[in-house]
Amino acid sequence: MSSAQVLNVTLPALSAGWSADKDFKAVGKVSAATQRNLEPVGPHFLAHARRKRHHRTFSEDERIQAQQNVKKTEDDEDDDISEDEDPMMLQRDAKDWKGQDHYAVLGLTKYRWRATPEQVKRAHRKKVLRHHPDKKAALGDRDENDSFFKCIQKATEILSDPVKRRQFDSVDEAADVEPPSKKQSQKGDFFKLWAPVFEAEGRFSKIQPVPQLGDDNSTFEEVDTFYNFWYNFDSWRTFEYLDEDVPDDGESRDQKRHVEKKNANARRKRKTEDTARLRHLVDDCAALDERIKKFRKAARADKDKKRLEKEAEAKRLAEEKENARLAEEKAKKDAEESAKADREKAKKAKEAAKNAAKKNKRVLKGSVKDVNYFAESGEPSASQVDSVLTDVDFINSKIDSEELASLAERLTAAGKDGAAVKNVYAEEFKRLIGAGKAKEGEAKFFA
């Protein structure tokens, strides 16, 4: 209970010669007295009445009111915020803050990286109301060990700072979801078992939102997009939270550089190991994904169908080509046989024409022989025979086979009439002269 304090204040002295009778001036009038009914109200009266009713001292009443305020605050918060602490966690050393689970300290293990900044604030407020040294003292707890309260403050500091919180989330193994085994995946619901794994891993993606695993009805494009995303996963994990503390005393610059280099190498190694781990995890999931097997089977069937269609088309083209070749060979053979027949026919015709020409030539020579080489009486002289045959050969040399046949036909018709035969030769010679094939005097006997 607070006590009254008396202050000694000296009033200023009146000026010399001041008199109430002459210097006092009234600026107003006091109103008349009014009777009013006063009622005991207000927080202070209620506190006084509460103390009197329960026979409490001031300190007892403040302690009990503090307990009720804490309980009211806890009841106003969501039940999911700020779970009860593990007794072992209450014994933590605040100096070992890197080893503590900040989400567990604030009672946010259910939310972890999903906890909003507002939930972090509310959880901190609730923990402070429960574990603040002053509140504990007001509740009658005289334990002066405030180590866990320092853990709360450190957890709030880490989780309230976006950069520090991301560093802690980068190594928060408690938020990881263990992938199911091959046996579990084959016997259980594949999508129900694997979806939480990729949801947990997706918190590290620079690209948001992360593609979902889907279900049995997912299309090939959706499944292909999902696995392409995870095989090319772009992670923001840096593992800085696990760095060894860098000395900041400024005395050993070389030591500082050594620690910084050591931390950088350790981060790179952990990054490489994490990338390999994630790739192995995606490989395991893809190997057990029946959708991929179904798509591959459909692709093989489609490929086989296209192969069979291609083979059938190739066979058809080959048959068409073979048929064309056979048709070409047949046409060539027919053409050769036709040409051979034509040649034989032409040969026979030529031989027939040649025989006919020989026969007609014999007719020509026989025609003059039958008329005794145009001798009027007795045997013709040798010179006359030679002259007649020379002129016959001349005419024969100037005419073609058709003209020869025509001449032979006319000579045959003339028979053994010497005058008629000679007249036929004379007409033929005259025709040759008219056609420009002979000149006057070249066949003297028939001129």
Orientation angle between helical segments 58-76 and 117-131, nearest 10 degrees: 150
Residue 392 contacts by C-beta under 8 Å, 6 or more apart in sequence? 364, 365, 368, 425
Residues 207 and 256 grouped into a single domain: yes
Residues 104 and 218 grouped into a single domain: no
Residues 319 and 436 grouped into a single domain: yes
Name the pTM for this structure: 0.54
Burial 351-375 (b: 16+ CB within 10 A, else e): eebeebbeebeebbeebbbbbbbbe
Residues 360 and 439 grouped into a single domain: yes
Whether 301 is in a domain gets the answer no
The pairs formed by 410-419 with CB atoms below 8 angstroms and a separation of 24 or more are 411/363, 411/364, 411/367, 412/363, 412/367, 414/367, 415/370, 416/370, 416/371, 417/371, 418/371, 418/372, 418/374
- What's the domain range around 104? 87-173
Looking at the 3D structure of the chain, how many domains does it have? Answer: 3
Predicted local confidence at residue 1, as pLDDT: 43
Predicted local confidence at residue 73, as pLDDT: 57
Residues 425 and 372 grouped into a single domain: yes
Write out the H or E segment, with its range, that includes residue 211: none
Whether 35 is in a domain gets the answer no
Residues 324 and 438 grouped into a single domain: yes
Whether 76 is in a domain gets the answer no
Residues 112 and 125 grouped into a single domain: yes
CATH code, domain carrying 129: 1.10.287.110
Whether 294 is in a domain gets the answer no
Residues 317 and 440 grouped into a single domain: yes
Q: Select from 173, 197, 226 the last residue of a domain.
A: 173
Residues 276 and 364 grouped into a single domain: no
Average pLDDT, 10 consecutive residues per value, the chain (447 residues): 64 75 75 79 85 87 76 55 71 83 91 92 88 67 71 93 94 92 87 94 94 93 95 93 80 83 94 95 94 92 92 93 93 90 86 82 81 80 84 84 84 83 84 85 76
Whether 42 is in a domain gets the answer no
At CA 93, angle to CA 90 and CA 99, rounded to 5? 95
Residues 323 and 439 grouped into a single domain: yes
Predicted local confidence at residue 28, as pLDDT: 79
Q: Select from 156, 173, 190 the last residue of a domain.
A: 173
